Amino acid sequence: MIDPIKIDGLAAFTRNLRRLDADLPKTLRVAMNDAATVVVDWARPRVPRRSGRAARSLRTASTGKAVRVRAGGKRVPYWPWLDFGGEGRIKGRPVKRPFKKEGRYIWAGYSSNRDEVRRVTERALLDTARRAGVEVD
């Protein structure tokens, strides 16, 4: 499985942004959502559709320290089966789907677009630093 992108010093960076301007951490969080949107945009058209709930459940979720792609939920409890496979049930009947450890949608989208995700993340960090008045090379 592909390792997620980890940014050393992000918490300290966000803390220092908050000292400069209270709105800057929010700006950074929203900008980092763009990186996760790259994966969502890749995965959404590839998700099989019956009702469309599974595809609509793909979304970004972020905090000040992390950005994630989320899918499934209460109305789409079968998401793990769709993405990774295994044994499930459709209308009470057992259904098997070949198991894929790396997944079909989210992790596959991340691995296919890792360079783009990294580029968007880097751009978000640099733009936020410039907006804070910090000189960046």
Predicted confidence band of residue 86 (pLDDT cuts 50, 70, 90):
very high
What pLDDT is recorded for position 27?
84
Residue 113 · residue 42 · CB < 8 Å: yes
Whether residue 40 is contained in a domain is answered as: yes
Whether residue 64 is contained in a domain is answered as: yes
Whether residue 75 is contained in a domain is answered as: yes
pLDDT at 3 over 90: no
- What is the Cα–Cα distance from 14 to 74, expressed in whole angstroms? 32
Q: Encode pLDDT of 28-59 as tens digits.
A: 888 889 999 999 999 999 999 989 999 999 99
Q: What is the mean pLDDT of residues 130-135?
A: 80
Q: What is the mean pLDDT of residues 7-15?
A: 80
- List the domain range (segments joined by +) for residue 58: 10-131
* Residue 2, helix vs strand vs coil: coil
Predicted confidence band of residue 130 (pLDDT cuts 50, 70, 90):
confident
| Domain tally, the chain | 1
Rounding to the nearest 10 degrees, give the CA dihedral for residues 63, 64, 67, 71. Answer: 0
Whether residue 16 is contained in a domain is answered as: yes
Q: How many CB atoms lie within 10 A of CB 93?
A: 7
Q: What is the average pLDDT value for the chain, to the nearest integer? A: 88
Residue 60 · residue 70 · CB < 8 Å: yes
What DSSP line would sit under 10-48, residue for residue?
HHHHHHHHHHH-TTHHHHHHHHHHHHHHHHHHHHGGGS-
Predicted confidence band of residue 98 (pLDDT cuts 50, 70, 90):
very high
* Residue 107, helix vs strand vs coil: helix
| pTM across the whole model | 0.84
